[in-house]
Structure 1
Amino acid sequence: MSETTAVRVDPSNERMLKAWNGDEGALWAKRAQRFNDGVAAYRDVFFSAADIQAGDRVLDVGCGAGQTTRDAAQFATEGSALGVDLSGEMLGLARRLADEERVPNVSFEQVDAQVHAFPEAGLDVVISRHGSMFFGSPLAAFSNLARATRPGGRLVLLTWQPLRLNEWITTFRTIFAAGREVPSVNLALSDPAETEGLLTSAGYADVRCTAVNKPMYFGQDVEDAADFIVEQHGGRLSDLDDATRAKAVETLRADLAEHQTDRGVFYGSAAWLVEARRP
């Protein structure tokens, strides 16, 4: 586990640093392939919008274990791809995978994209697959990214639509509440009007949010999916008695069985494909 003191972050991101450079990041590193498989259906539409050219300099914000960064580098054959994240453990995995896959034009840095001094106008494309929703101060973050994007450069994000449109989130939140009240929460960047206003204020233009709905993969069968989901969300049951915890897990398995297909266990998901340009 990495030392949090080694990473300079904006005070508003201290909580995110503690989580992603700690237990949360360790879990995501351990399950990196499953998390990538989960949203794999979004890959083509995401990179089609990014339209990365051979000589482009690409920044991947919240890159995690680096799958999207390595994919970007494969498009930017004469350019480069830099992945940044707060998780030292995930970045370590990202570097190992890049070496194993022999991707020479990719690099990774453990920095807070909200405050990091990227070279001014030094980027052609900024991308983020579900990694741009965790900034303590989104306006400060996107202003910093806009400063680093060259005139005419592009920003492409994948963010979640509201909770009610994401079957997987609402289902698992309800099951792991185990009869208790399900806390209300608003997903960052889930409102197109707010996102457009935010990115315009930050210095981007021509903001467009396109609804994209894809099936999300959770495992090859019920037990495989249950192991993954309980590992990720089971902590929400820790304060309950054994019988209540067991009932919640059985409820989960029953719901997973209803979503079993011949290709695995899938739930509906809904994302926004956000595109913008630096004027």
Structure 2
Amino acid sequence: MTVRVDPTNSDQLTAWDGDQGAFWADHADRFDEGAARYHERLLDAARVGPADRVLDIGCGTGKSTRESARRAAHALGVDLSSRMIEEARRRAELDGITNIAFEQTDAQVHPFPKAAFDLVISRHGVMFFGDPDKAFANIATALRPGGRMALLTWQPLARNEFASTFRTLVAAGEPVPEPPPTGAHPFSLSDPDRVRALLTGAGMTDVELHAVSEPVWLGHDVEDALAFMTARQASQLAELDQDTRARVVRAARQDIARHLDEHGVRYASAAWIVQAVKQP
């Protein structure tokens, strides 16, 4: 299937419809478990009602879409990854959910039916647009006047130990650059002022950001978490020589061991719950 994407999102299509998306599809349960505390926070903020038509942006393997569909009239999940969309459809069918659909598409340019949805949600899926002004403007056209938006985005990298720790370890003593303030990456919507500007520019109002902090779960025990994180960082580790790679893995194992408690391996993190309303 050929997916129409904005030229600014071509690299994202390559990644998410390639190895990166395949990795997320193969580890869907782990990613869902890792973000479980945030998942409930997002749904609480979304306040999905039985008459709502819900659009889930960057739905991945469809956890948030399925949970929305259980509470709503209908839910549509969209994502760039064909593997994750296939897995999302499979899981919805296994769960017997019929008021749901999934499409592989670029939400930045997809011709959504105008004013067709009551609610737009996204669980860590809106930080990767090449042109976020264009993307949010397009998504907003899908919302009816007075429709709601509930998004989950990460706060800055420094407040997210689960990400900063392993970036530092894999850098093997080299400086770790701060993520740029713009661009397609997990922390691109960590600045509240930027988020407010993007959403108001797209025709949203009453934009509010609420700080939330929950542990991110990485594994049942040290070796389980280590196997997952080394697989996730495989391309960066492959760039290191054998001795350096072994040293990094040893350091990662020690750090993971310090984060093991009765619930498994958990690292600190911080996110924003973003809420907004489409202008009448």
Instruction: Report the TM-score when normalising by structure 1.
Output: 0.96
Write the distance in 2 (CA, Å) between the matches of 1:166 and 1:184. 13
Q: 2:83 aligns with which of 77, 85, 89?
A: 89
- Equivalent position of 2:260 in the other structure: 260
- Equivalent position of 1:73 in the other structure: 69
- Equivalent position of 1:46 in the other structure: 42
Contact between 1:154 and 1:278, CA under 8 Å: does it hold in 2?
yes
* Alignment map for 1:88-107 (pairs within 5 Å): 88-107=82-101
Question: Once the 2 structures are TM-superposed, how far is the Cα of residue 184 of structure 1 from its aligned partner?
Answer: 2.4
Question: Once the 2 structures are TM-superposed, how far is the Cα of residue 44 of structure 1 from its aligned partner?
Answer: 2.0
Contact between 2:39 and 2:123, CA under 8 Å: does it hold in 1?
no
Q: 1:110 aligns with which of 100, 104, 108?
A: 104
- Equivalent position of 2:18 in the other structure: 22
Q: Percent identity?
A: 52
Write the distance in 1 (CA, Å) between the matches of 2:268 and 2:71. 29
- Equivalent position of 1:59 in the other structure: 55
Contact between 2:216 and 2:268, CA under 8 Å: does it hold in 1?
yes
Partner SS state of residue 43, structure 1: helix
Task: Specify the code of the residue in structure 2 equivalent to 1:190.
Answer: S
* Alignment map for 1:120-269 (pairs within 5 Å): 120-186=114-180, 187-269=187-269
Instruction: Report the TM-score when normalising by structure 2.
Output: 0.96
Write the distance in 1 (CA, Å) between the matches of 2:68 and 2:229. 29
Question: Once the 2 structures are TM-superposed, how far is the Cα of residue 225 of structure 1 from its aligned partner?
Answer: 0.2
Question: Once the 2 structures are TM-superposed, how far is the Cα of residue 234 of structure 1 from its aligned partner?
Answer: 2.3
Partner SS state of residue 5, structure 2: coil
Task: Specify the code of the residue in structure 2 equivalent to 1:83.
Answer: G
Partner SS state of residue 170, structure 1: helix
Task: Specify the code of the residue in structure 2 equivalent to 1:270.
Answer: A
Write the distance in 2 (CA, Å) between the matches of 1:34 and 1:237. 21
Question: Once the 2 structures are TM-superposed, how far is the Cα of residue 180 of structure 1 from its aligned partner?
Answer: 1.8
Q: 2:29 aligns with which of 8, 14, 33?
A: 33
Deviation string 1:153-204 (CA, Å, 9 cap, x unpaired) is 0011000000111111110100111112213213211001110011001110
Write the distance in 2 (CA, Å) between the matches of 1:135 and 1:29. 20
Question: Once the 2 structures are TM-superposed, how far is the Cα of residue 48 of structure 1 from its aligned partner?
Answer: 1.0
Write the distance in 2 (CA, Å) between the matches of 1:238 and 1:260. 26
Contact between 1:176 and 1:234, CA under 8 Å: does it hold in 2?
no
Task: Specify the code of the residue in structure 2 equivalent to 1:222.
Answer: V
Structure 1 unaligned blocks of 5 or more: none
Partner SS state of residue 121, structure 1: coil
Write the distance in 2 (CA, Å) between the matches of 1:172 and 1:72. 33
